[in-house]
Structure formats: C-alpha cells, structure tokens
Amino acid sequence: MSKLQEYIMDKYDNDMYWFTDEVKDYWHINRVRDILDNRDYLGGKHKIKQRVDEVYNGKVFTTRKICLNYAKTLLQFETAFLLKNPVTLISNDLDALDEYKTVYREGKYNQLDYSILSNMTKYGECYEYVYIDSNKRIKSMIFNAEDSYPVYDHTGEMISFIHYYIWDGVSYYTIYTDTTVEEYSDIGGDLHCTGQYNNLSGLPIPYVLSSEEDELIGQASLNEYIDILDSMEDLISKYMDSFFKLGLSPIPLFKGTKLNTKDGGIDENAVGYALQLAEDASFEFVGAKMDYQSFKELFKTLKQSMLDISMTPSIALNSQDVSNLSETSIRMMYSLAEIKGAMNSLYLKQGFEKRWGKMKKLLNVMGYEVDEDAYIDCNFNMNIPQNQGEIITNLSTATESGIMSIERAVEVNPYTVDVNAELEKLSNKDNKDKVNVNVED
C-alpha cells in the first residue's frame, strides 16, 4: 500500500473524493488566506485605505489615504538582483549540457526562473510541474500558490498534489500522484472524473521560503516589512491632513484698538485693501506650527528600517549620495543584498536539482540518452555593480602569471554567458593555431 493510500484510508476512510475535503483542511485554509492577503496588498488594498473621513469645522473632511508602493519596488529589486542575468548551466558532460541548454531555450526557462522567484518573494511559495508537450518538447507550468494544495505525510514528504480552482461557478480539481494525473470537475452539477493520464515526471516541484513556524508553509519576503510600510503611509497621510487643516488655514488676529471701519471690522469681500492700524494695535495671522523636523526624522527612520530589513542597499532607491564613491565602497553597500541573494539561490537550487532530475528522466523517455554519471549545476550571476574592464585586466594578469587557469577565468568573466561554449571555442582556436604553425614549419 502506498503512502497516499494509507493517508486517504486513515484521514478520509477511503473516500474516492477525498480531495474535496483535503482542500478544506484548516492548514490549507490558513495558508491560502495569507497568500490572498498578500495578493490584495500588492493589488492596492492597503491598511491606510480603511481610514475613515473626519468632521472638521462642521464639514466632512476627506482624509488623505496615501499609498506608498515601495513593496513592489523592493520585491522587483530582490528578484532582479539574483536573476536579471540568466543562470549559467555547467556540467561535466558536454553532450548532456547541450541537451539541457536546448531544453532551457525551448522551454524559456530563464523567464520561468524569474517568475518562480518573483512568486516566492510575494507569496512565499510556488510550484512547478515538468511535462512533455504535444510538440515533444520539455516544458514547465507554474501553479499559483493560492490554487496549490500540496499533500504531506507525517514526515513532511509530499505524497500528492491538488491543483484546485473555481472558474465560472465550476470547480476543477487536478490530482497529481507519482504515477498518475487525474482530472475532476462538477460541471453539470455532480463531481465526476474528466480524464486520467500517466505521469512521467512525478509530483510538482515545491519552491518554498520556509517560515519559522512551519517549514512547509512559505514565508514571503513581503511579510517582513508590511508593518513598516503601513506606519509610513499612516504617518505621511496624517501629516498631510494636519498641514492642510492647520498650516494653510491661519486665523487673523487683531490686538489693541479696533480699526476705524464700518462696524469696527474688515469687509470680507475686500480684495487689495491696505490696513491702517492705530498706534497701540497690531495685526497678524496665527497658525499652528508644524513640527516638520520630527516628521522628517520619523519618516527617514522608518524608511531606513525598511531598507535594512529587506536587505536593500540605500543606493538602489536613490536614498544615498553616490558622488566620490569608489567601486569597492559601492560593492560593500551591496553586501546585505548579496547575502539575501545567496539565501534565495539556495532555495531555488533545491527546486532546480529536482527539475534537472525530472528533465533527465524525460530526456531518456524521448530517446536522448543522458549518462548516469553526468551532473548538471548552475552559477548565479548577481547584479552587483562592478568595473568589468578592471576585472578583465586582473583575469588576464592572473592567467598570464600562471596563478589561474583559463577555465576558471572564463567562468568568472563578466562577459561570459555560456562557459562550456566559450571553452569549446577557445579549444578550437588553439587547435587551429597549432595547425597553422605546423603548416608554416
């Protein structure tokens, strides 16, 4: 009996439609609710939008509800920092590497990787399913986190996966196991099976930024600084209200003898009049003093806290002057971002290794023999500011002095996109030069 069958028997008493109850499980409901909350926030439903209007001087005053979309900027920076430059595939088998590169190119996996990391930072988790399409090409589809229901046993191993969503009032279920894919829907009123297929690649691949409370639930980067963003929006909105209510509505104040005018006052319709006051009288506008320095300091502190927690360099958001800074100083500013990128690369690589294993299996099914000893790996090219000319000069000096190999120099060369292709071209060039030397001799 498989682990999935044991799970269904113990929890759902062998109900053939067990998956309809699984998606209603409390664990899934809480997880999906948090994901939808993040999606709403990115869609513009901020806490400040719930601020009520006020009554001021007997009239309804529409309060400011200023949204700061820093969240999108921070998430875009986090994703682009690691994956703006495509990952570089490497392998000990050039033939196998060519096959993988073909799969990556045809499946547009560089774009797919970007989408995966973007979803991870926004919602904490993402799921990828590798398959062979109708054109005999290896492709992957990405499941939205709110439509994904992974099924784990007591050891934390995924034993099934449910893709569930509602469209036009109809519920659709796709159940993935190690060997099969089954589709169900309640179109027509009753739930019934609409298709069953062999599953060549196994279960979908989870990409999860593990939370401290539950390693199976994703902890989105967005969650780490929503509270700070809410405070920034609340501060600037209330300050703007105070500015317009108090700062721009001063009260005219007369001191001393009344003016020698009709009824001792000023015609409210007067425009361009000059006031002539008695010797012991004075006139001024009295307004509330705005403590803009406190506001400035508070907002600056919150913004810096947001940058620190998200590990975003101030220079990336134009929050720091970059004049007269050396390249080394700028790189030091990116040290926290580099740490965050390294953490994200570890989570991505956990999924990539499973992807490469599934690709190898599908390539063999399609008749492309991949050696069992062939391994596939990748290098991430983080988007760190650097003087590429200086790097090339240093690499040239290192290789000429014999302290670095050509292969290593090609790997770290900022202009290198495909390491193995460059090495192959260099090898062909060396062979051609040797032939020309022999001919001349």
234-293, pLDDT tens digit by residue? 999 988 888 777 655 566 666 666 555 555 555 656 555 566 666 667 766 666 666 778
Task: Answer whether residue 420 is part of any domain.
Answer: yes
Q: By percentage, how much of the chain surpasses pLDDT 70?
A: 84
pLDDT tier, 24 (very low <50, low <70, confident <90, very high otherwise): very high
Domain assignment present for 58 = no
* DSSP structural state of residue 383: -
Is 402 within a domain?
A: yes
The answer to whether residue 207 sits within a structural domain is no
Question: Residue 410: inside a domain, yes or no?
Answer: yes
Residue 381 CA to residue 83 CA, distance in Å, equals 7
Whether pLDDT at 62 is above 60: yes
By percentage, how much of the chain surpasses pLDDT 90?
A: 51
pLDDT value of position 259: 57
Q: For residue 150, what pLDDT is reported?
A: 96
Cα distance between residue 264 and residue 262, in whole Å = 5
Which of 125, 113, 141 shows the shortest CA–CA distance to 201? 141
Task: Let me know if residue 432 belongs to a domain.
Answer: yes
Element (H, E) at 184: strand 180-185
Count of domains observed in the chain: 1
Contacts of 180 (CB under 8 A, 6+ apart): 196, 197, 198, 199
Asked if residue 421 is part of any domain, the answer here is yes
Question: Cα–chain-centroid distance for residue 49?
Answer: 23
* Confidence bin at 54 (pLDDT 50/70/90): confident
Q: What sign for the dihedral angle of Cα 150, 363, 90, 375?
A: positive
Following DSSP, what letter does each residue of 119-172 receive, concatenated?
Answer: HHHHHSEEEEEEEE-TTS-EEEEEE-GGGEEEEE-TTS-EEEEEEEEEETTEEE
pLDDT digits (tens, 9 = 90+) for 394-437: 888 988 888 888 888 887 787 777 777 788 888 887 666 654 54
Choice among 49-63, 133-147, 241-255, 328-342 with the minimum mean pLDDT: 241-255
The pLDDT tens digits of the residues spanning 346-392 come to 999 999 999 999 999 999 999 888 888 888 999 898 888 777 777 78
Q: Is the pTM of this model over 0.85?
A: no
422 is in which domain, residue-wise? 391-441
Within a domain: 32: no
Query: Which pair of tokens denotes residue 188?
Result: 């027509």
